[in-house]
Structure 1
Amino acid sequence: MSSVKFFNGFSMPVVGLGTWQSSNPQELEAALDEALKAGYRHIDTAYMYQNEHVIGNVLKRWLDSGNIKREELFIVTKLPPIGMTPEKVEYFIQKSLKSLQLDYLDLYLVHLPIGLQYVNDTDLWPKRDNKILIDPTSSIEAVWKAMEEQVDNGRTRSIGISNFNREKVERIMKVARIQPANQQIELHAYFQRPELLETCRKHNITVVAYAPLGSPGRKQLYEQRGLTFEPIPLLEDEIIVEIAKRHSKSTAQVLMKYWIQQNIAVIPKSVTPERVRSNIDLFDFELSADEMLKIKALNKGSSGRTFSLAFPGVPDHPEYSVDD
């Protein structure tokens, strides 16, 4: 499989298995087994997904069997917002390593630039009076210094950021002794973020697109939490349908290929075996320059954004922003 190369010489497979919303242990175990059989070596998780222990059990089983070597895998997890203080960075990476049953990570990301108050290890969105308890004193610069120490101590090979806008990327670059290797952001055909991508390229920060298909599975998750979410019709877009037919591929495959041809990695989430297999079947066709331009023209700018942190209380955080 092709990969994107980090500034430090490490490489990340360009397709990974996303595991957000994968909380059913049996379902996730089956999806991971299917993914590893299909050739996935890049697995993306986060402390906030509360599934690292399930992933750890599957990885241990595969590693113990000798069917896979640790150096073949690329494992990514993330520092939770309740860990956005320098002293909590080591604490949470150690917890993630223990759950994943690994000695080191390939990439550790700051999940959000916003810090939340730490109440306990499991209260990920602490609330009072129906408002999320932010930690307005959290400093992305101070946290970054602690992230660098995790590389020094061998707990992770590379460090990166997630959901950082241009201004925050520049701030990290000003203080970084070890620069971010990667930035993970919402990115799909309706929300293409050219300015943010240019800032990352300028600093040799690779990019991973999350929700490259618009994250259609979120509707069910949001409804369970009493929230509303109307999926964007990305998979049914007539331009994408037309291109997919021409290549005898699915619209999902076309949407992901668009980013891969720009050297941007994708982490589609699925627990359906057939979709898990088809999501990595992206290397036997190429989009033409004209097709790339047609997809580029679908960009809706900021109105294409589907992820928001505008939960009660969060916009009060000094690092809250909705630009880029």
Structure 2
Amino acid sequence: MAKAPSISLNNGLKMPSFGLGTYKSIGEADSAIKHAIDVGYRHFDTARIYVNEEEVGKAIQGKIKEGVVKREEIFIVTKLWNTDHEPEKVEKACRQSCEKLGLGYIDLYLMHWPVAFKERTPFEYGPRTPDGQYDHADVDYLDTWKAMEKLVDLGLVKSIGISNFNSQQIDRLLDNCRIKPVNNQIECSPQFNQKKLIKYCQDRDITVTAFCPLGKQNPAENKPAFLYDAKLGDVAKKYNKTVPQIVFRYLLEIGTVPIPKSVTPSRIEENISVFDFKLTDDEIKYIDTLNTCERVVPFIESRNDKHFPFGIEF
């Protein structure tokens, strides 16, 4: 099976245009990643909060030792969690991720959210206040970013980027950064296509990665609706593809890098088999009409924080 073509980042490096997400793949990431490498995947996405960096790293190390792939052919993404935003914590957090992954360096290190959390003892990934909101720390993401820039200088990471940032936050970051973000990882699917934010990023030479590309699935209720759309089903039949494959092709064509999560070998193979056809302009326009602006990850527990990213249109 052919590998996904790569796209260029604004620092001259390249990123494969399709990846494997590993959210909630604890205990299953090893076999999933090994199979994914065997069938052509080279882009793998994890995060501190996924609690599987070590498993992800060992799977990749195993395939390198087998001679199936070289380290420089792998593109590994992980993320700085919200409890590590204080500048003095950033390098330590990155080194811990590097150590867990065991791959020598990180290809792309993202600030997972623009909001910061207070660190609790014992540690909590999502510390809460009595009213159920996240317990936020007063840290400016600009200060966090300056500490992330030093990671590039140290050679710990090749590229740095952001995740879940809105256009105003990106503007502010671009006005105050030394190293420009290469990527913004955002929720993106036919029900929430983010075309305005995608264009905004493209105009500033920032690539976009699409997480939750199939929304939140609930087959008992035929949700998300776009997966059960009759016309989308007809498009899939036309190309002898599945509806999810049509969705991934759409996301590629509107300018994103999809990272669907799967641990099922047949689905892993199916998902990346989307580079042998193209949708027509009319088909893309139809899928555009399925946009309902409904988020799977609204992050409403942070809505009172000054850096909450979802309070504006894009």
- Aligned-residue offset at 1:202: 1.6
Partner of 1:35: 36
Match status 1:318 vs 2:306: yes
Alpha-carbon distance in 1 for matches of 2:170, 2:234: 37
Alpha-carbon distance in 1 for matches of 2:267, 2:204: 34
Residue 13 of structure 2 aligns to which amino acid in structure 1? F
- Aligned-residue offset at 1:286: 1.1
Match 2:14 to one of 11, 14, 17: 11
- Aligned-residue offset at 1:127: 2.8
Alpha-carbon distance in 2 for matches of 1:88, 1:11: 28
- Aligned-residue offset at 1:65: 2.1
Residue 10 of structure 1 aligns to which amino acid in structure 2? L
Alpha-carbon distance in 2 for matches of 1:199, 1:87: 31
Partner of 2:152: 151
Partner of 1:180: 181
Match status 1:273 vs 2:261: no
Residue 214 of structure 1 aligns to which amino acid in structure 2? G
Match status 1:21 vs 2:24: yes
Equivalences for 1:63-82 in 2 at 5 Å?
Answer: 63-82=64-83
Q: Give the TM-score of the pair, scaled to structure 2.
A: 0.93
How many residues are paired up?
309
Partner of 2:163: 162
Superposed CA offset, 1:173-228 (max 9, x none): 001110000000001111112221122112100000111111427x99xxxxxxxx
Partner of 1:216: 217
Match status 1:2 vs 2:5: yes
Superposed CA offset, 1:26-55 (max 9, x none): x22111111111110000000000010111
* Percent identity (aligned): 36
Match 2:299 to one of 296, 305, 309: 309
Gap change, CA 1:93 and 1:31, over 3 Å in 2: same
Gap change, CA 1:238 and 1:69, over 3 Å in 2: same
Alpha-carbon distance in 1 for matches of 2:223, 2:285: 24
Partner of 2:52: 51
Alpha-carbon distance in 1 for matches of 2:193, 2:210: 10
Structure 1 stretches of 5 or more lacking a match?
Answer: 221-228
Alpha-carbon distance in 2 for matches of 1:281, 1:179: 32
Q: Give the SS at the match of 1:316.
A: coil
- Aligned-residue offset at 1:132: 4.4
Residue 290 of structure 1 aligns to which amino acid in structure 2? D
Alpha-carbon distance in 2 for matches of 1:152, 1:210: 28
Superposed CA offset, 1:266-285 (max 9, x none): 00001111100101111111
- The question of whether the paired residues in 2 share the 8 Å contact of 1:79 and 1:89 is answered with yes
Structure 2 stretches of 5 or more lacking a match?
Answer: none
Residue 260 of structure 1 aligns to which amino acid in structure 2? L
Gap change, CA 1:121 and 1:240, over 3 Å in 2: farther
Partner of 1:247: 239
Residue 167 of structure 1 aligns to which amino acid in structure 2? Q
- Aligned-residue offset at 1:95: 0.8
Gap change, CA 1:192 and 1:242, over 3 Å in 2: same
Match status 1:126 vs 2:127: yes
Match 1:296 to one of 285, 288, 305: 288
Superposition RMSD in Å: 1.9
Superposed CA offset, 1:137-191 (max 9, x none): 1111101101110111111111000000111010110011100000000011111
- Aligned-residue offset at 1:67: 1.9
- Aligned-residue offset at 1:315: 2.2
Alpha-carbon distance in 2 for matches of 1:65, 1:208: 29
Gap change, CA 1:116 and 1:66, over 3 Å in 2: same
Q: Give the TM-score of the pair, scaled to structure 1.
A: 0.91
